[in-house]
């Protein structure tokens, strides 16, 4: 079976580990959000690609959910001692090696897709990681400055990491998405897929950004699509997806997110929508909704989620 998954960072990566365990023989291609990417100190940081790569490659810090195991932050402390402008960003010493390698290869002229493939030769994720685009796309968040009464756009990472998504956002924009071409292999992978899975990733800044890349949404219209809710009992399991949903006018509930994605038969995306057992009773017009445990508490529980997702749309 050929599976395509769209993914952000932590939620996507953990789900993919379950998917790999559930269907080890499946050929999985992951289209990864690059809208979170940011250039700091000349380095191109790709948080979602790296989270997926480290998680599937056994190099992730399990507790934090991002960055490397056994990480140290000496460089960051030194940057803080310089009062470096971006020292709010958590750059670990081990992680830095990835960013240096990526910089080196990008500077040599390789596109992000090839750089990613090269980095994956070390991590062997067991599936194909495809950046959604080789072109630069950066998510920006429009926030209102209460002091001046004016609004300004800041990079997603500044809003998310530096401000903890606490500044009320009036819009979220994927800058560059309108002209970004899908990465090599992205549309082909969707075209060859038997099923497309939307893991419990952030519906706005992870899945929502991938969907803005030219041709992706249209390609999905020809495939069975199943999604898993990142929202359980009216709250994100982790992180601040509620702040992102508020910015696009969607309630933080499994039902509202399912309806936001919408039924494929009605111009939306979904054929099937998995919600947590505690959200049983959710309905999305035109979509088959099933309630199962959706907490990725361990690999077995996560694999069961993946199995349930595939069964819902493939039977």
Task: Please select the residue that binds ligand GDP; options are 3, 4, 6, 12, rule is CB under 6 A.
Answer: 12
Shortest-Cβ-distance residue relative to ligand GDP: 11
* 53 contacts ligand GDP (rule: CB under 6 A): no
How far is it, in rounded angstroms, from Cα 275 to Cα 294?
A: 7
The stretch near Ca ion (CB under 5 A) out of 8-16, 100-108, 146-154, 277-285 is: 8-16
Q: Which is nearer to ligand GDP, 144 or 278 (CB)?
A: 278
154 phi, psi to nearest 5 deg: -120, 155
Kindly give, in sequence order, each residue whose CB lies less than 8 Å from that of residue 299, ignoring residues fewer than 6 positions away.
17, 18, 21
Residue linked to tokens 């395509």: 4
* 12 contacts Ca ion (rule: CB under 5 A): no
How far is it, in rounded angstroms, from Cα 206 to Cα 209?
A: 5
Residue 132 binds which of Ca ion, ligand GDP, none (CB < 5-8 A, kind-dependent) = none
Task: Please select the residue that binds ligand GDP; options are 23, 26, 248, 295, rule is CB under 6 A.
Answer: 295
* 125 contacts ligand GDP (rule: CB under 6 A): no
Reported residue count of the chain is: 315
Dihedral of CA atoms 203, 209, 210, 214 in degrees, nearest 10, equals 140
* 32 contacts ligand GDP (rule: CB under 6 A): no
Site for Ca ion in 27-56 (CB under 5 A): 36, 48
Q: Which is nearer to Ca ion, 9 or 183 (CB)?
A: 9
Query: 223-257: string of b/e by CB count within 10 Å (b at 16+)?
Result: bbbbbbbbbbeeebbebbbbbbbbbeebebbbbbb
- Pattern 227-256, binding to ligand GDP, x per CB under 6 A? -xxx-x---xxxx-x---------------
Are residues 175 and 188 in contact, defined by beta-carbon separation less than 8 angstroms? no
How far is it, in rounded angstroms, from Cα 226 to Cα 67?
A: 29
The stretch near Ca ion (CB under 5 A) out of 6-14, 80-88, 115-123, 168-176 is: 6-14
Are residues 207 and 35 in contact, defined by beta-carbon separation less than 8 angstroms? no
- Shortest Å distance, C-beta 241 to Ca ion: 10
Task: Please select the residue that binds ligand GDP; options are 3, 8, 220, 253, rule is CB under 6 A.
Answer: 8
| Helices H / strands E in the chain, number of each | 12, 14
- Shortest Å distance, C-beta 311 to Ca ion: 28
Contacting residues toward ligand GDP, per CB under 6 A: 7-12, 48, 51, 200-202, 206, 228-230, 232, 236-239, 241, 294-296
Contacting residues toward Ca ion, per CB under 5 A: 8-9, 36, 48
């Amino acid at each position: 079976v050929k599976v395509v998954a769209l993914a952000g960072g932590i939620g996507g990566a953990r789900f993919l580990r379950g998917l790999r365990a559930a269907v080890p023989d499946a050929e999985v291609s992951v289209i990864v959000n690059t809208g979170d990417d940011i250039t700091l100190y000349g380095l191109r940081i790709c948080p979602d690609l790296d989270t997926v790569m480290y998680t599937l490659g056994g190099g992730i810090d399990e507790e934090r959910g991002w960055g490397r195991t056994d990480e140290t932050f000496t460089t960051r402390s030194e940057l803080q001692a310089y009062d470096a402008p971006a020292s709010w960003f958590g750059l670990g010493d081990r992680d830095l090696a990835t960013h240096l390698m990526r910089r080196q290869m990008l500077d040599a002229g390789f596109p992000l897709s090839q750089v990613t493939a090269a980095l994956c030769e070390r991590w062997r994720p067991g599936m194909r990681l495809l950046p959604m685009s080789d072109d630069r796309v950066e998510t920006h968040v429009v926030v209102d400055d209460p002091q001046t009464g004016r609004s300004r756009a800041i990079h997603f990472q500044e809003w998310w990491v530096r401000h903890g998504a606490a500044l009320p956002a009036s819009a979220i924009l994927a800058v560059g998405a309108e002209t970004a071409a899908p990465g090599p292999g992205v549309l082909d992978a969707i075209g060859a897929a038997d099923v497309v899975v939307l893991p419990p990733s952030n519906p706005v800044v992870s899945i929502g950004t991938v969907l803005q890349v030219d041709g992706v949404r249209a390609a999905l219209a020809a495939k069975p699509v199943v999604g898993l809710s990142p929202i359980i009992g009216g709250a994100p399991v982790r992180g601040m997806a509620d702040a992102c949903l508020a910015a696009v006018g969607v309630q933080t509930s499994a039902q509202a997110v399912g309806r936001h994605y919408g039924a494929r038969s009605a111009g939306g995306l979904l054929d099937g929508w998995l919600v947590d057992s505690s959200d049983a009773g959710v309905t999305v017009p035109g979509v088959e909704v099933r309630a199962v445990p959706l907490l990725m508490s361990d690999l077995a529980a996560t694999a069961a989620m993946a199995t349930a997702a595939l069964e819902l749309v493939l039977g």
